[in-house]
Structure 1
Amino acid sequence: MSFFKRQKPTEAVRLARRKSRFYFGMGFLIPMLAALVGFALIGVWPFGDGTVLIIDSLHQYLPFYTDLHEKLVNQESLLYSFSAGLGYDFWGTFAYYMASPLNFLLALVPKANVADVMDLFILLKIGLCGGTFSWYLHKRDQGRKFLPLVFGAMFALSSFIIGYYFNLMWLDSVAMLPLIMMGIERIARGEGGRLYGLSLFYGLWCNYYIGFMLCIFSCLYLLVCLAARRGLNVKKVLVRCLRFGWFSLLAGGMASVILLPAYMALASSESMLNNSFPSTIRFYTNFIDMLLAHFAGQAPVNISDSQVGLNAYCGVIVLILAVLYLLDGKIRLRERIGKFCLAGILMLSFALNILNYIWHGFHVQNGLPNRFAFIYVALILTMGYDVLRDIRRIALWKILAAGILAIAFAAVSFALRLGDLGTEVYLITLTLLLIYMNLLLIARLWRRKKTLTTCLLGGVMLAEVVAQGIYGIGCNGDVTRSIYLKDQASYENLTAALDDDTFYRSEIDSQRMRNVTMFAGGHALVMFNSTMPASTTQLCDRLGIEGRTNKNGYNGVTKLMNDVFGIKYVLSSNGNGSTLYQFEKVNADDNLTIYRNDNALSLGFMVDSAIKGWDTSAGNPMDVQNQFVQLATGGEAIYVLDRYIDMENGQTYGIHVPDNKQVYLYLPNRVDKLELTTPEYSKTYDTYTDHLYVINSMDGNSEAEFTVTMDEGTTQTAIVYTCANDAYQAAVDALSRSQLENVQADGNKLSGTIHAESQGTLLLTIPYSENWEVLVDGEKAVPVSIGGALMGIDLEAGDHEISMTYTPAGLWPGAILSGVCVVLFILTCILEAKNRKEAEKKMRLEFSQKANSFQDGIFTRLNEKKEELERAGRTVYNLSVGTPDFKPSRRVMEAVSKAAANPDNYKYSLKDLPELTEAMIRFYQRRFGVTLEQDEVMSLYGSQEGMTHIAWALCDPGDLVLVPNPGYPIFKLGPLLCDAAVWEYPLRPENGFLPRLDEIPEDIARRAKFMVVSYPANPICRVAPDSFYKELIGFARKYQIMIVHDNAYSDIVFGGRQGGSFLAYEGAKEVGIEFYSLSKSYNYTGARMSFAVGNREIISKFKTIRSQIDYGIFLPVQYGAIAALNEPQEDVLRQCREYEERNRTLCGGLRSIGWNVPDSEGTMFVWAPLPPRFT
């Protein structure tokens, strides 16, 4: 199909693409390097021992990425992982946190450098944000040079990017926003939707959460763009809305293999299940505080428990530009209103809980406020960019009004201390606003200094955001990576020394990192993950283990639950953890000590089928664990109530720990702080205190005490339980009779064997999910939910093989939908391309085949290449065009100037001035000894134009013209325009670069209509002897060939010789004409003044042809030519000597370095052979 064929891009298209790549590349580089400086200053590796992975990126993302690294390196399935949370849907987590294609590069680095690569990813993604925004602004207005890069840096170094860069999974999608905006603008103009569809697809793919925000914005931005368009009717609006909707659906559909599993995983999490639409209206902040968020010198917001905070800073100049945008009459009123309304909606959404809830994916913002602020930043930067385009046409009073308004707000804020800001913030902002107002006024007043004022203004803007970005990075700080790498290395070394190849769970009890065991490489109970099933966290909470939204901890794990969950090893940094009395010390290094639990159960074990009735919501944690023991084993409860304690603020209470008993303290409700001291350890708990506490010690008959802090005048109840060790052991012995053996837990597969002593239920301590396919002895079995959280499989007595495979919910429907939508997207793009080409064909002007067969002239193309290199900062020595670097004589310039001052000289000059013709006749007689008549002279718009048009007078289609090779390109162009044939006669060095006329084939010579000859010759730099011209005239007479001699360089001949004229030879006028140019001899290049002289019949026909084309040469140019022809020749001779000296210097210098370049005999050029290594 024809629309698959790619046409070769024109030079203009290639240049535009190079410019686009330049703006993307520089827009990428500037903020990335600025951030790199910030990283280096705070000691990020390799500049120190730091990493910028703070807050959630330390506790969640680094362990997740490490888990991904291990799966990639070991070629494990990405569908499930047993590394934390008793087991979790890895694909759902991957879809939510790690879908960026960049993450697959983790497989190329060692495990210990995963954090360093993540730091690098953050740098690259900051650069990507700057690159796409710079590219977008360049595409919107390709006449701007420096400002797209400045605004790109303002976006990439905004407080949103800097404050939230630790959420690196957001940044790919954030970087797609400028591309989405460009795609929507194209759709609004009636163009295709490919860019919009691809960029939205990538944004949705990389992050479900940010992608949702991009979708909301896209709908609103389309309305703004359509409202701003002129000439739209209902049909056009409908078509463009349908195109937008179709590509939106395709984008979501193509990403559905990621989106559906991510949604399904999130849907089962506690944060989603406990989420509800706001029932009351609440404002998080006010308009004043939102404006204050634009001030410079503030630390960016990283996390906020109060849900208040806005990362809106992107350069304080936007406070002025926003007002100017509203006042800029050069921008359509509808566009200004639309964008201001959209910015207003975004600002209202920062404050109003209902709108905020919607923007955050129908979810509360949960500690990271206003995660959609990047959209606002991009919008106001775009508005500011548009204003600066018009700054030189905006009235001064408007600039003053906008500047004074912004400065007044900052001053009043400082005076009244609005906002909780430091003095330096107000002062920095006021100073910058004063500078910007003055720079804008200067830009407005100095219109002719556009480049200077733009660079000055842009330089200050760039310096501000770079400094603020580096400052923000410093405020964010870093964490010491070696602390966590030591834990990772210790875990690997200590567990490797165990020589234990069974499946087991373990915990590192320091919890310096929430998912530390996952990071270290183990299988853990503990996990912090937004996709963590609510059932898992609820089970932990109901068992008295620390558990809350999306996370659990190791606090409150009883000795029984350590066994049930198969926690076989605990690693401790200080050897005094709360559960260590339950374990036996095995080994240690200089960082961690490892302890073993010999009672730890397998991943699966047989229990009584009554366990299916286990109700984890019945009673407190000890009641729930007692019920578990009773249902699972058929035995008695093992936990006994010891006493209740009514606690008061600041009071200390003692607990006796008797021999052979476990003691646990339970706080049903949270207190502000609990300080617990036992013989084994002392610890203070000040968050989420409502769980069990292990009181025991290695030795019995000891004392423990605790102190609580809570609201004065209130009381809370604490409950103490004991458990006899023999009762506990009996329960564990009963549970351990039939355990799953030969456990293989790899990727999304779990298998093992078990001997069931009696009919019952195999309890698997992995989260229950219907996504497991269970085979018992090769037959499909239906798992049951135990306690609403764990897996159970009913088994008959006997030996069984268990095989399980996990497939994430939504994976296959998502994959099928993605595949279908990819095909539909490709077909849609093909159809759009076909329709676009057909539309272009209808609109395209049809040119002649002759016109289409030509390309830009060689000198035009060389000049474009020169300009491209100069724009890239290269120094270019332009040797491509023979342009003199001397100036015309004073007499010539005065003649032109005087004639140009006479208004009569601006009329048509239908024929040459008589004085010009007489001057040329006298010049040829004086210079060459050639006598010319009035009808043997005519003027030309330069010899190049003459060479083109002479063919129209001398030949018809199909005629043959002889031209030299090598030769000036124009020699062939004239005949080709007349559809004549060209035969190139060779000029070879062995014949002195003269044509061998006797070697021109007889049939060619008889067919030839005219012959182009040029000496001194361009480009071969040779002159012809008298004998050649005599032979040439004889050849022309013999075959009745007209000669056209180009005599452009007769005044530039070296070696003391003087150039002559073809017409000086006997018989020359009978067979031809000669072109003589003032360009080189008199430096009259731009005036385009040449003459055709010679055979009067040829001149007469040539005049007739040219009279149909133009109305003569501009009279001031003719007067200048008269002055040149009449003046003495000393300047011409002096100029020739200068050219000769230059030629000898250049050629001699080249020969001295081994390049054998012969001296030229004349002209302005050097004809150099290629050096040997280039041949």
Structure 2
Amino acid sequence: MTRRKFRQKTTMLEKAPFLLSFFIPVLIMLGIFIQRQIFPFGDNSFLRTDMYHQYAPFMNEFMEKLKTGGSLSYSWNIGMGSNFTALYAYYLASPVNWLAILVPQSLMIEFMSYMIVLKIGLCGFTFCYYLSRHFKTRDLGISFFSIFYALSAYMAAYSWNIMWLDCLILAPLVLLGLERLVKEDNCLLYCITLGLSIISNYYISIMMCIFMVLYFIALMIMEPSHQDVKTAASDGSVSMVKKRTPYLKKCVNFGVYSLLAGGLAAFLLIPVLFALKMTASGDINIPKTLTSYFSCFEMIARHFVNVKVEIGLDHWPNIYCGVAVLLFFPLYMMNKKIPKKEKAVKGVLLFIMLIGFSLNIPNFIWHGFHFPNSLPARQSFLYIAILLTMCYEGYRNIRANTSAQFFGSFWGVVIFIFLCEAIITEETFSFKEYYVTLFFICLYALLLYYYKKGKAWAPTLAILAVAVISVEASMNTALTSVTTTSRVSYLENQASYQTLAEKIEKEDTSLFRIEKDNRKTKNDAALADYHSASLFSSTANAHISDLYKALGLEGNTNAYSYTGATPFSSALLGVKYTLSLKELDSDLYTLQDEDGNVNLYKNRYSLPIGFMLPADMSDRWDYKILNPVEAQNSFATAATKCGSIFVSAQGGSSSIGQYTLTIEESGFYYIDVTNSSIKDVSVTMGTSTKDFSNVDRGYLLDLGKCTAGTTITLTTEQDEQNFTAAAYRLDINQLNNCMNALNSQPFITDQYTDTYLSGRVTAKEDGLLYTSIAYEKGWTVKVDGVEVEPQLFADTMIAVSLTEGTHSLEFSYEPDGLTKGILISLASLILLCILTAGTYAARKKRTAAADIETETENQKKETNDTGDTPEK
């Protein structure tokens, strides 16, 4: 007789915890959206920090590629051209994002915003599912802790960070999968969910993997040394025998299935690994000295309600997850019903995570062997998950706590709150946080008292608990999260930019770049679908940033932009057109078209995407040893026979906080601020003023056209700084001569797509074809049908040595490591299927054997009861 399990129909009461865990966070977020007048409830949007500057533009580019069939390997619309596979893996790899193909691009912002709401609800649901399976219960109490997981301070701080949210949804399932791997030798859930997590966002999954190693060790320590196993004797009898726990087998399973999870994601991981070598994060510099950011006492106080979340450069972790945890954690530790070993192990695990927030070297390790550039303690959602799990166990066993323990826990929390008020001097805390926390602690203590003593009707307590939890969670989220920006302002003139870019691309079939003089973000090109020369991304090519700074354009760790461009540096980058809301000087620009408030100008001085240089140009031009203006002059004189295109302006005087210059000759002027400590500069030119920010990023200040006799004054609020600078005038005649010389041997584009470019060039003599295509290992170059090794010009751009004559060239791109990654993922999937099938077959065989043993026992019992031999 085969054993079968008949599952009873789930009642509404059993469904309630899951429904509450999903719908309460969703309804709270929707209520906040309505109150904040977020579209369609008003004209605001939930575009915050990186969501404003990065995710919205990148999502728009992704939607455009999905709808037009563009390549997911490369994009000309992001920076100087970017490895889109790497960018996708970092910012867009959530499988849910593929639903964007069903959404009009006009609703791109709303797609992102309301996916956040949905994912917050799913966080509550998956954590509720984890608790129900971990504790084998459908008690309504699991929803209380699930709501706080979904609306924790981590979510309040980082909910806009859409690329991380899938990992928060999957984390409870990965935990459950690891527990099943250790306790039941069932490895499939762990492998699949960890693999999905790595695919969704490999960066947060680094922290997930570190934590899983720690949690696996914790589970192994908590495993009993021996287990009861059924064995069958020769006479057919079955008995229970204690066998040693197969620790080695569990370790092998953990290692194999963890590697398989990584292997499933290899099709993204391998290309990203190669791409990261080109970024500023490619080097690992382990700190030499152990330092502390703050005390654990101050850190634990961040469990209080309404504490301002930290998303800046301070290292404070966002660990609030309901003030009730302050009550439940000591009750958990004092509860006699919970094994001492479990309390000790999980207590140590929490402590390890806490010191990971407060000490620099553990913090460095947790963040993938790098210090985070703002957005601190990115692993704290895992701390929150374990803490809430422990606190739920304390809640469900609270009747095992004595009254003395209960009141001791309550008064201990009260004393801790008052101590924090007396000791902590951080500006993020005010008296309100202390007393609102105290108020909710009292409410929870009162509810727990009646629950523990059984002095109230259970449904009444449940309704009150849900109400109090909802009020606390919504209050904390509303006061610490969901900041807004104007949707109208963000999308203003976007249609005009897109229309003009689309029209000029039809008229001019060459490969060129367009820039704006009034960017909202460095990724505006991805919003309006045109090729650009600016980028803000963690996958930014560090060599481009270095070259930009050398030429006097803006560059930093993970960004570079067109800010500071001169007509000459602009030409070197292949920028041919400019979008502007104002009238530009006719000496440098020609009006090409207009749409609404937007004008499209053609740059008078531009160069094609490639042009010929002397064969020894790399030896002649060393951009690293010169200031930005001299680097451009040096390039011009080394590449052509013309003279310097920038002339030093005499008469400037430096003083503390100020630089003054009287213009002697009319022309276009640029200032090189040589004091790299100065960040913000205000320029006064007669009656007009102009402000520059982030000047310490090394870009030239473009003063525009200045008239002789005008006095220009540059000031900074950093009064203690000596304002050292140098002024230069653009020599239009020399610029014209230089550009004519460089344009005499152009690369003529025949065809281009996202990943392919073909064209031809006629070299007057042996030389070097310079291109403004940023070098990556994935580029393949063919000259006259024969593959050649591309050269690296200025450590950044692709260059090709050519002999005299006319040549056809082809450039094609495939992300480095993509093919290897796909093969590894396929092999991992096949191996996982084989292992799963083998495990299933073995389990089925064991089940069949157990059924036979059970049937034999039943037959023997029947024989003993009747004294007859049963029929065969």
Distance 1:816 1:395, change over 3 A: same
CA contact (8 A) 2:356 2:362 kept: yes
Deviations, residues 81-129 of structure 1 (Å, cap 9, x unaligned): 1113211111111111111111111122222221111112211211221
Aligned equivalent of 2:439: 431
Secondary structure of the 1:272 match is coil
Aligned positions of 1:723-734 closer than 5 A: 723-734=730-741
Distance 1:410 1:585, change over 3 A: same
Q: Distance in 1 between matches of 2:684 and 2:459?
A: 71
CA contact (8 A) 1:78 1:91 kept: yes
Aligned equivalent of 1:172: 166
Deviations, residues 507-560 of structure 1 (Å, cap 9, x unaligned): 122222221122111111110011111100000011110111110122211110
CA contact (8 A) 1:668 1:691 kept: no
Aligned equivalent of 1:293: 302
Secondary structure of the 2:535 match is coil
Aligned residue among 586, 595, 600 for 1:594: 600
Aligned equivalent of 1:541: 549
Name the Cα RMSD after superposition.
2.7
Structure 1 residue 677: Cα displacement: 3.5
CA contact (8 A) 2:225 2:245 kept: no
Aligned equivalent of 2:71: 77
Q: Distance in 2 between matches of 1:8 and 1:588?
A: 77
CA contact (8 A) 1:657 1:696 kept: no
Q: Distance in 2 between matches of 1:405 and 1:411?
A: 10
Aligned positions of 1:201-220 closer than 5 A: 201-220=195-214
Aligned equivalent of 1:276: 285
Aligned equivalent of 1:556: 564
CA contact (8 A) 1:584 1:597 kept: yes
Secondary structure of the 2:696 match is coil
CA contact (8 A) 1:581 1:698 kept: no
Aligned equivalent of 1:1100: none
Aligned residue among 520, 532, 545 for 1:524: 532
CA contact (8 A) 2:539 2:558 kept: yes
1:28 aligns with 2:22: yes
Q: Distance in 2 between matches of 1:694 and 1:702?
A: 20
Aligned residue among 110, 120, 129 for 2:114: 120
Code of the residue aligned with 1:648 in structure 2: it is: S
CA contact (8 A) 2:671 2:725 kept: no
CA contact (8 A) 2:592 2:601 kept: yes
Q: Distance in 2 between matches of 1:841 and 1:745?
A: 63
Distance 1:92 1:363, change over 3 A: same
1:837 aligns with 2:844: yes
1:11 aligns with 2:6: yes
Aligned residue among 265, 272, 293 for 1:255: 265
CA contact (8 A) 1:544 1:666 kept: no
Aligned equivalent of 2:240: none
Aligned residue among 743, 749, 763 for 1:756: 763
Code of the residue aligned with 1:722 in structure 2: it is: R
Q: Distance in 1 between matches of 2:626 and 2:440?
A: 63
Aligned positions of 1:113-152 closer than 5 A: 113-152=107-146
1:768 aligns with 2:775: yes
Secondary structure of the 1:180 match is helix
CA contact (8 A) 2:577 2:601 kept: yes
Deviations, residues 336-362 of structure 1 (Å, cap 9, x unaligned): 111111111111111001000000000
Secondary structure of the 1:689 match is helix
Q: Distance in 1 between matches of 2:610 and 2:348?
A: 60
Aligned equivalent of 2:692: 685
Distance 1:80 1:600, change over 3 A: same
Gaps of 5+ in 2: 227-242, 860-865
Structure 1 residue 699: Cα displacement: 6.4
Secondary structure of the 2:807 match is strand
Q: How many residues align?
A: 841
Aligned residue among 83, 90, 104 for 1:89: 83
Code of the residue aligned with 1:298 in structure 2: it is: V
Structure 1 residue 383: Cα displacement: 0.5
Structure 1 residue 724: Cα displacement: 1.6
Highest Rg: 1 or 2? Answer: 1
Secondary structure of the 2:677 match is coil
Q: Percent identity?
A: 29
Code of the residue aligned with 1:194 in structure 2: it is: L
Structure 1 residue 661: Cα displacement: 5.8
Gaps of 5+ in 1: 1-6, 853-951, 953-976, 980-1175
Aligned equivalent of 2:329: 322
Q: Distance in 2 between matches of 1:17 and 1:743?
A: 67
Code of the residue aligned with 1:521 in structure 2: it is: D
Q: Distance in 2 between matches of 1:831 and 1:77?
A: 39
Code of the residue aligned with 1:38 in structure 2: it is: I
1:505 aligns with 2:508: no
Aligned residue among 275, 278, 281 for 1:265: 275
Structure 1 residue 258: Cα displacement: 1.0
Q: Distance in 1 between matches of 2:108 and 2:3?
A: 44
1:63 aligns with 2:72: no
CA contact (8 A) 1:663 1:695 kept: yes
Deviations, residues 431-463 of structure 1 (Å, cap 9, x unaligned): 011111222222111178455434433442233
CA contact (8 A) 1:112 1:485 kept: no
1:153 aligns with 2:162: no
Structure 1 residue 753: Cα displacement: 2.3
Structure 1 residue 620: Cα displacement: 0.9
Aligned residue among 231, 234, 240 for 2:225: 231
Deviations, residues 761-810 of structure 1 (Å, cap 9, x unaligned): 11110111222111112111111011111110112222222211111122
Judge which range, 140-149 or 206-215, deviates more.
Answer: 140-149
Structure 1 residue 15: Cα displacement: 4.1
Aligned equivalent of 1:894: none
Q: Distance in 1 between matches of 2:832 and 2:693?
A: 54
Deviations, residues 849-883 of structure 1 (Å, cap 9, x unaligned): 9x99xxxxxxxxxxxxxxxxxxxxxxxxxxxxxxx
Distance 1:328 1:647, change over 3 A: farther
Code of the residue aligned with 1:279 in structure 2: it is: K
Q: Distance in 2 between matches of 1:56 and 1:456?
A: 38
Structure 1 residue 713: Cα displacement: 4.7
Aligned equivalent of 1:808: 815
CA contact (8 A) 1:773 1:780 kept: yes
Aligned equivalent of 2:663: 656
1:460 aligns with 2:456: no
Distance 1:528 1:133, change over 3 A: same
Structure 1 residue 618: Cα displacement: 1.6
CA contact (8 A) 1:678 1:697 kept: no
Q: Looking at both structures, which has the greater relative contact order when contacts are Cα pairs under 8 Å and sequence separation is at least 6?
A: 2
Structure 1 residue 845: Cα displacement: 6.1
Secondary structure of the 1:187 match is helix
Secondary structure of the 1:813 match is helix
CA contact (8 A) 2:663 2:707 kept: no
* TM-score normalized by the length of structure 1: 0.68
Distance 1:174 1:804, change over 3 A: same
Judge which range, 770-779 or 489-498, deviates more.
Answer: 489-498
Code of the residue aligned with 1:601 in structure 2: it is: L
Q: Distance in 2 between matches of 1:103 and 1:628?
A: 45
Aligned positions of 1:396-475 closer than 5 A: 396-416=403-423, 418-420=425-427, 421-446=429-454, 449-473=457-481
Aligned equivalent of 1:923: none
Aligned equivalent of 2:806: 799
Q: Distance in 1 between matches of 2:591 and 2:168?
A: 49
Structure 1 residue 289: Cα displacement: 2.1
CA contact (8 A) 2:38 2:46 kept: yes
Aligned equivalent of 1:918: none
CA contact (8 A) 1:774 1:804 kept: yes
Distance 1:71 1:695, change over 3 A: closer
Deviations, residues 664-691 of structure 1 (Å, cap 9, x unaligned): 4443513142112347973222324353
Aligned residue among 382, 390, 394 for 1:387: 394
CA contact (8 A) 2:669 2:706 kept: no
CA contact (8 A) 2:680 2:695 kept: no
Structure 1 residue 580: Cα displacement: 8.3
Structure 1 residue 733: Cα displacement: 0.7
Distance 1:400 1:50, change over 3 A: same
Aligned equivalent of 2:102: 108
